Amino acid sequence: MKALEKIKESSQAIVKICQKERLSKADKERLFKLQGDIFSQIDTLTECEICGRVSDLIASITIANTTANLCSQCGIVALTDGQIKKTSRRSSRKTSTDNRATKNKKVNKTSPPPSKTAPIKTNTASLIENIELETDLSKPIIRRIEKMITEIATPMSIEHTFRYMLNEAKIAKMKVSDEQLEKAVSILMTNTTKS
């Protein structure tokens, strides 16, 4: 069964549970399990580098030293043409405003690329990028971990938060190792305690 079909099936099961007049603890546990199933299926979806379509059927194609992850339609076109045209993808509005902003600002071209040991930055986007570099976790998983930590009612120490998150990650069937989770929790917790 495809990932999108599994997401649809799990969503329908959630709706059926929510339509009950009274929910039990078992219903709540089932909702958490279904949520974990949905998140794990979403993690398997990949974006086509040409058209931007999200699918679980993406192929990595290399033609003339150019490699791209392509959906079936773009893959057929690339194989027929004998080349991968990455420029055919529509650019979003956000990228066009970003390009205008960089034209107006002076860009320091001699700055080195960020290293894995770079100090943690304070804004959320750079924090997530930092965690991504340190742990090799995907951004959606990092955001889920961050959300789960912020939903903890009572503040806990980093060690207790890590133990709690280990259990939550198992319930949500997150594809994350203990070491990755410990590093992500540690970075997120030290950042939130400084704020």
* pLDDT at site 86: 67
Q: Is 141 among the domain residues?
A: yes
pLDDT tens track for 75-117: 888 888 887 776 544 444 444 444 444 444 444 444 444 444 3
Per-residue pLDDT tens for 108-151? 444 444 444 344 445 677 888 888 888 888 888 888 888 888 88
Instruction: With respect to residue 52, please indicate whether it lies within any of the assigned structural domains.
Output: no
Task: Report d(CA 149, CA 147) in Å as an integer.
Answer: 5
On whether residue 108 sits in a domain, the answer given is: no
Which phi-psi region, left, alpha or beta, contains residue 73 (left: φ > 0; alpha: ψ -120 to 50)?
alpha
DSSP 82: T
pTM: 0.39
Residue 43's nearest CA partner among 6, 89, 1 is: 6
Asked whether residue 13 carries a pLDDT value surpassing 80, the answer given is yes
Determine the pLDDT at residue 12. 92
- CA nearest to 90, candidates 107, 74, 66, 72: 74
Domains held by the chain: number: 2
Residue 7, domain extent: 3-13+22-44
